[in-house]
Amino acid sequence: MTSVPPLGGERILAVLGPGELVGELVDDRWVPRSASVSSIHESKLSFVSRAVFNAVAHTQPEIYRHITAFLARRLRDVDDALTATSFLPLKARTARALLSLSDAFGKEIGSGRVLIRQKFSQSDLAAMAGIARENCSRILQDWTRRSLVSRLAGYYCLENKPALEPECGTG
């Protein structure tokens, strides 16, 4: 999911995987969408109309418990992202973005190395971290010199994931 901040540029709010819910939870007010969704892979999506949702929820009211849990999880994720953007230094935000991608798309390839098996540009990574691409570039160059991160055929590789984790500034 992406949003366009008031000062311009695009911010990647989340990278979602299979089975995730995306889209708007619409109420009776007409308000603009808060974000857009783009797919990086061919995807199969389903639309549930308000009438169908209400009919299912009427016969299966426990669905509200699942929606509440889903919304709480999303709110926590947004809160974490906002906190990171507001309080963490640029390196920590970039490390969090890379580690998040490694959790979603990473594959251990031996010797503590994790290959992120999805291509993301430096601009994408900067948008995830909420920083300028130029700052992201400088951070990645530093980490490349320190053998923490590399690029293999356009894919990011965490050369030493345990050594990158302290860069998050949270531990």
Q: Please report, for residues 9, 89, 114, 162, 163, the alpha-carbon distance to residue 171 in angstroms, rounded to integers and kept in the order given.
A: 30, 14, 20, 12, 12
The pLDDT of 62-77, averaged and rounded, is 85
Nearest by Cα to 165 from 83, 79, 122, 106 = 106
Contact status, residue 12 vs residue 1, Cβ threshold 8 Å: yes
- CA quadruple 73, 74, 75, 80: dihedral sign: positive
Give the residue, 1 or 22, on which the prediction is more confident. 22
Tell me: pLDDT of 26 over 50.
Answer: yes
More confident residue, 112 or 145: 145
Domains and CATH numbers, the chain: 2-40+47-86 (no CATH), 90-168 (1.10.10.10)
Residue 31's pLDDT is 64
Of 17-31, 100-114, 133-147, give the lowest mean pLDDT range: 17-31
Which pTM value belongs to this model? 0.72
H-helix segments, the chain: 50-59, 63-87, 90-105, 122-129, 133-145, 161-164
| pLDDT score of 170 more than 60 | no
Cβ contacts of residue 97 below 8 Å, gap of 6+?
125, 128, 129
> Which pLDDT belongs to residue 29?
59
- Give the pLDDT band (50/70/90) at residue 167: confident
Helix (H, G, I), strand (E, B) or coil at 162: helix
| Average confidence score pLDDT of the chain | 83
